[in-house]
Chain A
Amino acid sequence: KQEVTQIPAALSVPEGENLVLNCSFTDSAIYNLQWFRQDPGKGLTSLLLIQSSQREQTSGRLNASLDKSSGRSTLYIAASQPGDSATYLCSITGGFKTIFGAGTRLFVKA
Chain B
Amino acid sequence: ETGVTQSPTHLIKTRGQQVTLRCSSQSGHNTVSWYQQALGQGPQFIFQYYREEENGRGNFPPRFSGLQFPNYSSELNVNALELDDSALYLCASSPVRQKNTGELFFGEGSRLTVL
Q: Please report A residues at the B interface, Cβ cutoff 8 Å.
A: 4, 6, 31-32, 34, 36, 41-46, 49, 51-52, 89, 91, 93-103
Contact = CB atoms under 8 A, between A and B. Distances in A.
Nearest to A9: B40
Interface in B56-106: 56, 58, 88, 90, 92, 99-101, 103-106
18 contacts: A34-B103, A41-B111, A42-B108, A43-B106, A43-B108, A44-B92, A44-B106, A46-B105, A51-B101, A89-B43, A91-B104, A93-B100, A93-B101, A93-B104, A96-B48, A96-B99, A98-B48, A98-B100
Using C-beta atoms within 8 Å of the partner chain, give the interface range for chain B. 20 to 34
A36 B105 CA distance: 10
Contacts of B92: 44
A31 B90 CA distance: 21
Chain A: interface secondary structure? strand
Please name the 8 residue pairs, one residue from A and one from B, whose CB atoms are nearest each other, closest first: A96-B56, A100-B42, A44-B106, A43-B108, A43-B106, A49-B103, A31-B100, A102-B42
